[in-house]
Amino acid sequence: MEDFLHMGGYARFVWPAYGLGFLVLAWNIWSALRVQRDALARARRRAEIGRTEGE
Amino acid sequence: MATWTWFHKLASPPHFYRIAGKMIPWFAIPAALLIAAGLYGGLVLAPADYQQGDAFRIIYLHVPAAWLSLMCYMTMAISAAVGLIWRIKLSHALAAASAPIGASFALLALATGSLWGKPMWGTYWTWDARLTSELILFFLYLGYMALRSAFDDLTRADRASAVLALVGSVNVPIIHFSVTWWNSLHQGSTVMRKGGPAMPVSMLAPLLMAAAGFTLLYAALACIRVRGEVLIRERNATWLKELGSA
């Protein structure tokens, strides 16, 4: 395990790279879901307004 | 004929919204499995490189990220062109949805490359053809997004940004061939080269899995983001009212 974490002496390059990779993947998932959720909430509000105006 | 009917049906926003929603898990679950398997294989199972030691394990993020940054740009440019020529809103939506994904992976390719460059070349950065052209790709994504946000009118934003995406596509072959055309510090192609990949299977398989996983992740993210774009674009459509709790 210690050998694995040590990465043959390249730990300070390999692990930050993987840390950044994790961040980019997480940001992509979070950001896509947030954009979709916000758009849906706004569309629902518009539809609600449209419905009351139509009555 | 049948193909066109199908295409028109798919290109209609309500249909696309529903189908894209159903497709997300079919892309996302294999993507998660492939990325996990690829990174585990690359970090744990693959043997250390005889020249680069364990530093080469950065490849399992670097190459899939760089590949995705290019593939995403091509998708963006082609769908922008389709949107420009045939005036298909959904095409513009896909182009707009691709930009932030591509930008983030171009940044990851640059950052992981930098962390790999330091131990191998002795520097985090150099104005080398491959590095510079990938940096330009990152700026093209940023420019595309900035240009879009400068317009209040979506139709005009679509058209102006589509032209930028098309002009910028000249950079894609430059990035790909930069290591052949110029004397570059960056190593040449390892996977897509004449005579097959220059890697043993134990190293290559995790790389291909991670690259496939990133590609599928792009598909899942694009489905989610395009659904959002569709909602923004279809301001007054009646089908939005029927979305209910979907």
Look at residue B158 in the predicted model and tell me its pLDDT. 96
Looking at residue B123, the DSSP 8-state letter turns out to be -
* Smallest CA–CA distance from B97 into chain A, residue: A32
Distance from C-alpha of A31 to C-alpha of B101, rounded to nearest angstrom: 10
Q: How confident is the model at residue B1 (pLDDT cuts 50, 70, 90)?
A: very low
Side chain identity at residue B37, one-letter code: A
Look at residue B126 in the predicted model and tell me its pLDDT. 92
Q: How confident is the model at residue B108 (pLDDT cuts 50, 70, 90)?
A: very high
Q: Count the neighbouring beta carbons within 10 Å of the beta carbon of residue B44.
A: 10
Interface membership of A49 toward B (CB under 8 Å): no
* Smallest CA–CA distance from A52 into chain B, residue: B241
Provide mean pLDDT across the span B108-137: 95
> Is A20–B43 a contact, with Cβ atoms under 8 angstroms apart?
no
Distance from C-alpha of B103 to C-alpha of B86, rounded to nearest angstrom: 26
Closest approach of chain B CAs to the CA of A53, in angstroms? 13
Handedness of CA B94, B99, B100, B101 (dihedral sign): positive
Provide mean pLDDT across the span B111-123: 94
b/e map B185-220, b = 16+ CB within 10 Å: ebeeeeeeeeeeeebeeebbbbbbbbbbbbbbbbbb
Number of H helices and number of E strands within chain A?
2, 0
> Is B54–A36 a contact, with Cβ atoms under 8 angstroms apart?
no
- Identify all chain B residues contacting A14, using CB atoms and an 8 Å cutoff: 54-55, 57-58, 115
Q: B207 in helix, strand or coil?
A: helix
User: In three state form, how does the secondary structure of A31-48 look?
Assistant: HHHHHHHHHHHHHHHHHH
> Is A29–B100 a contact, with Cβ atoms under 8 angstroms apart?
no
Q: What is the pLDDT of residues B133-185, one digit of tens each?
A: 999 999 999 999 999 999 999 999 999 999 999 999 999 999 999 988 888 88
Provide mean pLDDT across the span B6-26: 83
Q: What is the pLDDT of residues B44-79, one digit of tens each?
A: 999 999 889 999 999 999 999 999 999 999 999 999
State ipTM. 0.90
Q: What backbone phi and psi angles, to 5 degrees, belong to B198?
A: -95, 55
- In 3D space, the residue among B227, B98, B233, B116 whose CA is nearest the CA of residue B169 turns out to be B98
Look at residue A53 in the predicted model and tell me its pLDDT. 63
Q: Residue B23: CA atoms inside 13 Å, Cβ hemisphere, count?
A: 19
Handedness of CA B7, B8, B12, B14 (dihedral sign): negative
Q: Considering only the beta carbons, identify the residue of A17, A33, A51 that sits closest to B224.
A: A33
For chain B, how big is the Rg over CA atoms in Å?
20
Looking at residue B45, the DSSP 8-state letter turns out to be I
User: How far, in Å, are B93, B166, B187, B240 from residue B219 at the CA level?
Assistant: 14, 21, 29, 24
> Is B57–A7 a contact, with Cβ atoms under 8 angstroms apart?
yes
